Amino acid sequence: MSPAAPTVPLPLVELGAPVLGEPEKAALAEVIDSGWLTMGERVRRFEREFAALHGVEDAVAVGSATAALLLSLAAHDVGPGDEVLVPSMSFVATANVVHHVGATPVFVDLEAADRPHMSLADARARVTGRTRAVIVMHYGGYAMDVPAWRAFADRHGLVLIEDAAHAAGLTGRTGVASHAAAYSFFTNKNMTTAEGGMVIVGDGERRERVRRMRSHGMTTSTLDRDRGRAVGYDVVDVGHNFRMDELRGALGLVQLARLPGWNDARRALTARYREVLAAELPGVRVPFAADHPTTAHILPVLLPPGTDRRAVMAFLREARVQSSMHYPPIHEFDVYRRAGALTLPHTEAFAAAELTLPLHPLLAPADVDRVVRTLAEALAIPREDSP
């Protein structure tokens, strides 16, 4: 009797995947061959091209979106004694940076349990005499109504900062109506420099302050002194080492050129998900309207009430489909619970139901169909506590 043929595992459908290839390799090799690795001319060109894509005057490259948020607060003199309104439905860095400048984060609920944007109405109710700034977050790359938030900020004398970590390439909708916007180039973002971030600041003087503060508050750069454009330096701010190096700048230039096409691919895949989910799993909802402006950074869905999300994720994993959830509410982390109990009902309801499905430009429509089919199989399994 001949042995059975070995079972070939299904290909893995990754949650997210960077798109990297020969252009990136060539760009990195050029930097190495140049002998100049620290912040220099490639980083500066990356800043200018990123600004041009977003329709603004200039931008400042930094080491991460966390650094971008922190510098945005610091450059607008947010600090000890101040309160900053922040979403709890975000990555924890959105709140952590407020602590890092010595201020206090005040968590704001979502608009609704199926709409993960920070609520203007709840924000109004949480403004006090100590409120100094507000950070809004473009969840999943879906555009916030920034002009409405700017009107709110102006009415209360607040600094408006955008956490645009998910929204690189959302031209005309980020970085133009706020005081500052922070972007991420982490590995899982729509474009990547491995680590890295960018700051857009509307006011030119504060933008230059961000530029100095990313490098210890120094008035000249290493490149300026090496090229003979400056002799010596002064230190005019207590800054940080938040610089971007030339390797990341080179990666950013290559990736930025391809970002619009990748965002288009993400939007097309999201439309496919909406179509197939509506046909096969009408009980699974996708937040936001289909025509909502977005970079389609992630594909969040809301599972039917009573679903055992852990069991669903385990089933998907066994079927070689990755999944995740975005995000555990920040106000429920232990470090923030110590400040006192807080209930944000819409945030908590959204977090309990949300599941993130694979989405990135390397997926094919057939992959979307497979993900939805596998999710349908997972949801069809009876729960152990079912009658």
Active site residues: 189
**3-state per-residue secondary structure call for the chain:** CCCCCCCCCCCCECCCCCCCCHHHHHHHHHHHHHCCCCCCHHHHHHHHHHHHHHCCCCCEEECCHHHHHHHHHHHCCCCCCCEEEEECCCCCHHHHHHHHCCCEEEEECEEECCEEEECHHHHHHHCCCCEEEEEEECHHHECCCHHHHHHHHHHHCCEEEEECCCCCCCCCCCCCCCCEEEEECECCCCCCCECCEEEEECCHHHHHHHHHHCECCECCCHHHHHCCCCCCCCECCCCCECCCCHHHHHHHHHHHHHHHHHHHHHHHHHHHHHHHHHHHCCCCECCCCCCCCECCCCEEEECCCCCCHHHHHHHHHHCCECCECCCCCHHHCHHHHCCCCCCCHHHHHHHHHEEEECCCCCCCHHHHHHHHHHHHHHHHCCCCCCC
Cβ proximity of 235 and 221 under 8 Å = no
Q: List the one residue out of 326, 320, 324 whose CA is nearest residue 367.
A: 320
Residue at token pair 């009430």: 305
Spell out the residues 6+ positions from residue 240 whose beta carbon is closer than 8 angstroms to its own: 67, 70, 71, 213, 214, 216
Bridge-partner residues for 162, per DSSP?
136, 181
